[in-house]
Structure 1
Amino acid sequence: MTSLLGLIAGFLSIIGGAISDHVPLSSLLNFTAFLIVLCGSFSASTLHFGLGNMISGLKAFMWLIKPPSVDLHKFIDQVTEWSSLARSQGTLALESVIPDVSDPFQKQGLQMIVDNTSPDDFAIILGTMAENAAHHQQIPAEVWEAMGGYSPTIGVMGAVMGLIHVMMRLDHPDELGEGIATAFIATVYGVGFANLVALPLGNRLKQLAKKMEREREVVMQGFMLLAEGKPGIVIRQNLSSFLDDHGKKKGKGGADAEPEAVAAPAE
């Protein structure tokens, strides 16, 4: 939510600056410039990434309101319960809890344990799924960063097109000032969209993707221990070592460092 507030504050700062300089807000509104910059940036990015990835990128805008996240404390409690269930009733008993799991990654991990997948294959499959998920979650950031790269140039194109139109009306000198001002609105749209929306949003989505990747590493560690038949207390101790008091992963370098796998004690 703070990211969304930052986005709104950026637009308000531009509007406030225009008002303080006695610039009519109506002069900042130009549908033609809007069409050129936004549609042009979208079209160029669609050519770059394909329509499916573009749709994923646009949907990821909602991450500003509700960022995707894994409640690791809740997951540790769950995987501890699953371990107790599997050790007391066998791994087939975990089949009953699969419908209650909403996360596809966790659901696949449980299904492979129920199917008695070998440890080597389990690690390979789960690792491949994690890599695919990480790649998919990086795409929205790349989409917005690309749009931020294209929009200023397309804004300049819009300005040049506006100036061409002005030059064609040199026989109306009273219209030159307004025409030139209108032409440069496309540049304002292009630069403003890139630096107030697209590039900051791309960087924010990249941070969220890395956060989800780190959370997924903890989930993978939990399923590896569960597949090995470790007791619940061992799993809890191991996974808790990845967390600080705020539920974030920690490492030797502090709360923001990459975690290292903690070797589980022998049963």
Structure 2
Amino acid sequence: MDWASVAGLVLALVGIIAGRALEGGAIGALMQPAAFAIVVIGTCGAVLLQSGKANFVRGVKMLRWVFSPPVEDLPALTAEINRWSAAARREGLLSLERHLLAVSDPFVNKAMRLVVDGIDPNRIREILDRDISSFERHERQAVKIWEAAGGYAPTIGILGAVLGLIHVMENLSDPGKLGSGIAVAFVATIYGVGLANLVFLPIANKLKAIVAGQVARQEMMADVFFSIAAGDNARIIQERISAYR
């Protein structure tokens, strides 16, 4: 669990609530279901229209990484790479075949299989580079739904404000209904701007950093298997790994 993300979200909410309380305003005035529905549902609809179902679903599933990011045990991975390198130099590239079943990462499994099959090192690197580019493109498209949400939410909040004001104008003859319409108008704007800058955009930036880390790991593994296929010694492979730390 990434407690910094949890603390950041809580701190943002506490700041808004505390500011409202210090001004002497009622906290309940910020709870407007109509405004929330306009901003959240409207933003989701706009993002889905822009991104398509596949990217939208993938982006929502990636939300768990904000609070529980994938963690790579680099020392353990380095030790594993050393074993692969030593086995390949001592017993030949075919000796890596017995390690295939123990590799759960599809990218690493594919890279190792290419090495076992005796593919030319340059060709292996070319294939893996294409896979990395494809992976990065798909992941970034999914992350963009949060950037898009950060862009649409404030505008839809303004739309909610306009709808609230329309409701006010329709009920000028009934003063009892004016307060709720004005509340929806202003709270919708708060929801739009607040969700964009305190939730959607921070999530997008954090997910981009996580994806960048995953891409760097794949590039490191591509370098490793290129070296193994080329018959480089362990020292060269260690130097390649150290460049990514």
Length-normalised TM-score, structure 1 = 0.85
Structure 2 matches for 1:138-217, cutoff 5 A? 138-217=140-219
Structure 2 matches for 1:62-81, cutoff 5 A? 62-81=64-83
- 8 Å CA contact 1:140, 1:205 repeated in 2: no
Structure 1 unaligned spans of 5+: 244-248, 250-267
Equivalent residue for 1:124?
126
- 8 Å CA contact 2:34, 2:184 repeated in 1: no
- 8 Å CA contact 2:39, 2:156 repeated in 1: yes
**Structure holding more helix per residue:** 2
- 8 Å CA contact 1:72, 1:215 repeated in 2: no
CA RMSD of aligned residues (A): 1.7
Q: Structure 1: how far apart are the matches of 2:20 and 2:32?
A: 15
Equivalent residue for 2:111?
109
Post-superposition shift, 1:69? 4.2
- 8 Å CA contact 1:80, 1:233 repeated in 2: no
Report the number of matched residues.
243
Match of 1:89 among 88, 91, 107: 91
- 8 Å CA contact 1:81, 1:232 repeated in 2: no
Post-superposition shift, 1:150? 0.3
- 8 Å CA contact 1:3, 1:64 repeated in 2: yes
- 8 Å CA contact 1:222, 1:235 repeated in 2: yes
Equivalent residue for 1:262?
none
Q: Structure 1: how far apart are the matches of 2:222 and 2:108?
A: 9
Length-normalised TM-score, structure 2 = 0.92
Post-superposition shift, 1:205? 1.5
Q: Structure 1: how far apart are the matches of 2:218 and 2:72?
A: 8
Task: Return the letter of the residue paired with 1:153.
Answer: T
Output one character per residue of 1:98-121: Cα deviation in whole Å (capped at 9) or x when no partner.
Answer: 121122211111111112112232
Task: Return the letter of the residue paired with 2:19.
Answer: G
Task: Return the letter of the residue paired with 2:93.
Answer: T
Q: Structure 2: how far apart are the matches of 1:182 and 1:47?
A: 25
Structure 2 unaligned spans of 5+: none
Q: Structure 1: how far apart are the matches of 2:104 and 2:138?
A: 18
Output one character per residue of 1:8-57: Cα deviation in whole Å (capped at 9) or x when no partner.
Answer: 21111111111222222221111111111111111111111111111111
Equivalent residue for 1:261?
none
Q: Structure 1: how far apart are the matches of 2:77 and 2:214?
A: 14
Task: Return the letter of the residue paired with 1:230.
Answer: D
Task: Return the letter of the residue paired with 2:184.
Answer: T
Moved more, 69-78 or 163-172: 69-78
Q: Structure 2: how far apart are the matches of 1:186 and 1:219?
A: 48
User: CA 1:70/1:132 → structure 2, altered by over 3 Å: closer, same or farther?
Assistant: farther
- 8 Å CA contact 1:140, 1:202 repeated in 2: no
Q: Structure 2: how far apart are the matches of 1:235 and 1:100?
A: 21
Equivalent residue for 1:252?
none
Equivalent residue for 1:253?
none
Q: Structure 1: how far apart are the matches of 2:135 and 2:73?
A: 17
Q: Structure 2: how far apart are the matches of 1:80 and 1:166?
A: 71
Identical-residue share of aligned pairs (%) = 37
Structure 2 matches for 1:6-21, cutoff 5 A? 6-21=8-23
Task: Return the letter of the residue paired with 1:13.
Answer: G
